[in-house]
Structure 1
Amino acid sequence: MAKLRICVFILLYIAAFGYSNKVDTISPDIKIKNVDRYIDISSQLVKIVSKLTLENSGKTLLKSFLLTVEGDKKENLAFIGAKDSSGNELKLAATTVKGYDNLKFWRVDLKEAINAAASAVITTESVFTKALLPYPTEITQQEDQLVKYNGNLYFFTPYQVASQKTSLVLNTKSVESFTKVKPFSQQDGTVSYGPYSNIGPFTEKELNAHYKNNSPFLTVTRIERLIEVSHWGNIAIEETIEVEHTGAKLKGPFSRYDYQQDHHSGPASVRSYKTFLPASAADVYYRDTNGNISTSNMKLKKDSVELDLRPRYPLFGGWRSHYTLGYNVPSYEYLYHSGNEYLLKMRAVDHIFDDMQIEEVRTKIILPEGSIGIKVNFPYPVTRLPDSLHYTYLDTKGRPVISFTKKNVVENHIQDFQLRYTFPPLLMLQEPLLVVGFLYALFICVIIYVRLDFSIHKSEQHKE
């Protein structure tokens, strides 16, 4: 009996922890025939798109392969993804490889397995934040911003690469210096390297560039996104946003006169930026601690609402701003139900500005009072916070609040989450009945007060 219990315990342990502790191996049957890389460093983000031609040199079906990044780059990695030649998103799962504890690996599951001696084209995309460093770190109001990029000339992979080309996209002709490894060519703000042949696994070669980059280096240090769901046809959304200019800091004094007179003054500063809201957004407000900010414009488009947000003052390096943005959307576009079962499908984060980088997003979802059986599915890993209750008008038990947080967020994370819950329709009558009951009790009290005489001593006139 004791042996049986031990066996059952071992089986349960394997079932519970076996998958999470799974270790992958680097298959010697996988070869990469060709790699075409495009490294876009024209904004504050580093976007790398690689087109891979995988070859199965083994005798069995190839169902998955591994992706990895350099050890010193893994902290800056915000997003990584892969697609096949048909444009289908491929599933990525974080994994480990024995002997490479300092590296981060992902196992990519293929939609269609690759036959022996066959090949397939896969496109990978990765986005890095804070990978461009201002140099010099301080500039005057009239100076352009120069930044440095330090990367890898080769595609970092655990497999052998037969041939590779790399294109470094700067979108500027003002280049101070860049890595020169033959063969290379420079044309129209793009530096092309390669082709290079027979590159071994995990090969690194330094790739540097020092160039002008006046694109907005605007970072959202923190955003609190509040989504309040109502079954009366409305969903209220409010975002409290803290932004900081993380580019080269302003050296010397700031002249408002020069800034207004000379349009070329402050080329690296941020005067305004565009935020896109859902097309059905209404009752939009934009304010800070001083009140409503009137220096903003709103344009209605077919598929979105465009907000031209202009802070009270321009943002230079090291300067910060804090504001609140709110709006309402109709619930029928995001809330679906069948009987007592409801499904909320919304974005975890919305578009704030182009090439945005967000250090931390904290989202709170307030559900109607009485919601039970709550289940949430996220499109990417997040940190789920403890549930809480929110009390407002006519609440008795409190409304359930689902909270989660995500760090290092970029535009690729603008994806929908799904929240399912159960809500009995009879609870819709709770608030109207409370209002009716309160008014009924109030009228009864008024009638009693007016009709009855509660005085102890009667006046002389009343006695006669």
Structure 2
Amino acid sequence: MIPAMAKIQFCVLFVLYIVIKCDSVNVDTISSDIKIKNVDRSIDISSQLVKITSKVTLENTGKVPVKTFLLAVEGTAKNNLAFIGAKDSSNKDLRLVETTVKGYDQVKFWRVELKDTINAGSTVVITTESVYTKALQPFPTAITQQEDQLVKYNGNLYFYSPYNVASQKTNVIINTKSVESFTKVKPFSQQDGTIVYGTYANIAPFSEKELNVHYKNNSPFLTVTRLERLIEVSHWGNIAVEEIIEIEHTGAKLKGPFSRYDYQQDHHSGPASVRSYKTLLPASASDVYYRDTNGNISTSNMKVKKDSVELDLRPRYPLFGGWRSHYTLGYNVPSYEYLYHSGNEYLLKMRAVDHVFDDMQIDELVTKVILPEGSTSIKVNFPFPVTRLPDSLHYTYLDTKGRPVISFTKKNVVENHIQDFQIRYTFPRLLMFQEPLLVVGFLYTLFLCVIIYVRLDFSIHKPEHPHKD
């Protein structure tokens, strides 16, 4: 009887495992009805990021309407991919679902769901965007204080796709005339700050051809190695935001000594170094502070604009390749701009990460949201995949049970991830009076103890009063 029960349990567990695997992994096939009529591609490598924008004209050569198509990223580039997205001709975002194709284990695929079907014999124009981090390598890897920084880009000359491409053209944007070398595949032309490749015809699916560009790039190569963002929500009208930021210059390392005298006297000294950078805060930000382990950093400026607060952050020392800095940035914003409620139901909408500097790249982001004490039925909605960390409790003054903390983390973050997340929770409004009542009760008890202490007589014997004659 026992072996039979064991077999039944094994079969049930095996079926559940298969169901879970099938639900969690999408499997697609490459449609032979879809062809790419034309691709107009732009590769922007003028900053520390590689931004590729492609205007793709899809054609349905079959006999039935098509609702989806596949995007692909080659195996050599998928580890550097930070963001990928697609928009239709109306500039509306399309939904992307990560999927797999049998026989292409080294390729990363996304299924793009179109808002309108492509009828047989019709075409549609889609714009795709992808951002890659750490795809530009300094070469040489070390330079002196006076030298310019040279970097190498190694990519794919062709638009990588599971479909046949009838015609394509590529513009490589470098924004400099100082080019050491670049791949020369005819037809091509070099203009001011741009290298134009194509038009190339009849490119087979999954085609790859090496594209190399070696050029001058003195853009700030700053990487936030870790950013811990703390959001503390109060129902008394304020949301406190604090960011602990660890930053590193990941460009060509400094070779030889550093001369501060030359750096201050000659503005052309250290062309690849970072003297300062701009951080953007919400327009309603107030009580802004900027400090490191030594205290407040006064070498910074704040400019209030209509739609943001611009901070010109200047570290205590300039950042050269391999140098690091660590600082804390904090501010307050009014809760009515981000917190909505109906009765006891609340909705918090805030950014998972904010603008640190232009063309930023963040290795690790950790966001923690501290909700008011007594919050229950917490539900979280993220605009992109994240790793949810275990919930915890945070204790401050007058807390009894602790405030719930919702935490999540994400690797390889860029500006495209500056999006709102949502947290829904239930909070009985009567609990808002808990802390004031605790204060009143404490003061009442204190005054009562003082009154009792004054009125009681703790002496061993009473003093003798003199008798009157």
TM range (shorter): over 0.9
Q: Name 1:190's counterpart in structure 2.
A: 194
Residues 96-175 of structure 1 mapped to structure 2, 5 A cutoff: 96-175=100-179
For residues 274-353 of structure 1, what are the structure 2 equivalents within 5 Å?
274-353=278-357
Deviation string 1:403-455 (CA, Å, 9 cap, x unpaired) is 00000000000000010000001101100000000000000000011111122
2:47 alignment partner in structure 1: 43
Cα deviations across residues 350-380 of structure 1 (Å, max 9, x unaligned)? 0000000000000000000000000000000
Cα-to-partner distance string for 1:27-80 (whole Å, 9 max, x where unaligned): 111100000100000000000000100000111111101111110111100000
Q: Distance in 1 between matches of 2:375 and 2:210?
A: 55
Taking the aligned partners of 2:350 and 2:129, their CA distance within structure 1 comes to 24
In structure 2, what is the Cα distance between the partners aligned to 1:230 and 1:258?
Answer: 50
- 2:73 corresponds to which residue? 69
Partner amino acid, structure 2, of 1:125 = E
1:432 aligns with 2:405: no
Which residue of 1 is the match for residue 4 of structure 2?
A: none
8 Å contact 2:41–2:171 — kept in the other structure? yes
**1:33 matches 2:37:** yes
The 3 A distance-change label for structure 1 pair 271 and 463 is farther
Shift of 1:460: 4.0
Paired letter, 2:194: T
The answer for unaligned runs of 5 or more in structure 1 is none
1:452 is matched with 456
Residue of structure 1 equivalent to 2:22:
18
SS in 1 for 2:329: strand
Mapped to 2, the partners of 1:10 and 1:179 lie a distance apart of 53
From the superposition, tell whether residues 463 and 290 of structure 1 become closer, same or farther in structure 2 (CA, over 3 Å).
Answer: farther
**Contact (CA 8 Å) 2:26, 2:98: kept in 1 or not?**
no
Query: Which residue number corresponds to residue 59 of structure 1?
Result: 63
What is the correspondence of 1:261-272 to structure 2 with a 5 Å cutoff?
Answer: 261-272=265-276
- What residue is the counterpart of 1:199 in the other structure? 203
| Secondary structure of residue in 2 paired with 1:443 | helix
Determine the C-alpha separation between the residues in 2 that align with 1:401 and 1:99: 43
Partners of 2:306 and 2:384 lie apart in 1 by 29
Counterpart among 248, 253, 256 of residue 249 in structure 1? 253
3-state SS, counterpart of residue 78 of structure 2: coil
Q: Deviations over 1:173-205 (max 9, x none)?
A: 000000000000001110000000000000000
Deviations 1:251-281 (A, max 9, x none): 0000000000001000000000000000000
Alignment of 1:409 with 2:407, yes or no, is no
Residues in 1 aligned to 2:441 and 2:466: alpha-carbon distance in whole angstroms: 37
Partner of 1:421: 425
Aligned-pair distance for 1:456? 2.3
1:85 aligns with 2:89: yes
Shift of 1:458: 3.0
* TM-score (normalizing by structure 1): 0.97
3-state DSSP class of the match of 1:19?
A: helix
- Alpha-carbon distance between aligned partners in 2 of 1:18 and 1:415, rounded to the nearest angstrom: 30
Instruction: Identify if the C-alpha distance between structure 1 residues 31 and 463 changes in structure 2 by more than 3 Å, giving closer, same or farther.
Output: farther
Q: Look up the equivalent residue of 2:320 and give its one-letter code.
A: F
Mark the runs of 5 or more structure 2 residues left unpaired by the alignment: 1-6
Aligned residues: 464
- Matched residue type, 2:260: R
Percent of paired sites with the same residue: 82
Q: In structure 2, what residue type is equivalent to 1:258?
A: D
Q: Name the TM-score, length of structure 2 as normaliser.
A: 0.96
C-alpha separation in 2, matches of 1:330 and 1:350: 16
